[in-house]
Amino acid sequence: MPQFAYSAEATVRVDAPAEALFGYLDNHGNLSAHMDQPSWAMMGARMEVHMDASGTRSVGSKFGFTGSFLGMPLAVDEIITERKPPFLKTWTTIGEPRLWVIGRYRMGLRIAPRSGSSLLTVFIGYDLPQGFGTRMLGWLLGGIYARWCTRRMAGDAARHFRKATIDAGTQAPGRQSGGEQQ
């Protein structure tokens, strides 16, 4: 397994059993939803995800992102390298990504079951980009971006299950749980 010069991780407690959490995050569209929306960390840019037929649900599955920032193309291709439901999933870049603040990387998630919940850790190990200008940007902003990305992925998962719990507990006024009028 390659070693990377830099790393970041974020850990959150999620109100869901490990199996449900892994099932949700195994769909990379859910895990990478933050890339689909403009944000400050992406400086307003957004990326489109593309996946092969297995949808990132098997080792060897390929996926990636494309987009642009200030007219400059951004692209990264990735491959699932480990998948051990419901505890671990990792993926790594294929070739040199065209990104501004991080270069090659390995990302993943670890899930530790707890009584009625799970501990989710999203992690990344990365190198700086290869080009001189992007390498300087990476040196300045790579850590900020990596921390934002891991925190955002972990936080989005926790919010998804918190919202699901709240939605499941919401009842219309004047109705009992069986749906009868009071």
pLDDT digits (tens, 9 = 90+) for 76-96: 999 999 999 999 999 999 999
Q: Which residues contact 12 (CB under 8 A, 6 or more apart)?
A: 119, 120, 154, 155, 157, 158
The answer, yes or no, to whether residue 57 has pLDDT greater than 80, is yes
Q: Provide the whole-model pTM.
A: 0.83
Which residue segments constitute the domains of the chain, with CATH numbers given?
A: 6-168 (3.30.530.20)
Q: What is the pLDDT of residue 179?
A: 41
Q: What angle (nearest 5°) sits at the alpha carbon of residue 8, between those of residues 95 and 10? A: 125
pLDDT digits (tens, 9 = 90+) for 115-152: 989 999 999 999 999 988 889 999 999 999 999 999 99
The answer, yes or no, to whether residue 177 has pLDDT greater than 60, is no
Q: What is the CA radius of gyration of the chain?
A: 18
Query: Does residue 158 or residue 182 have the better pLDDT?
Result: 158
Closest CA to 25 of 119, 112, 154, 164: 154
Q: Do β-strands 117-126 and 62-69 pair in parallel, antiparallel, or remain unpaired?
A: unpaired
Lowest pLDDT segment from 10-14, 17-21, 41-45, 170-174: 170-174
Mean pLDDT taken over the chain: 85
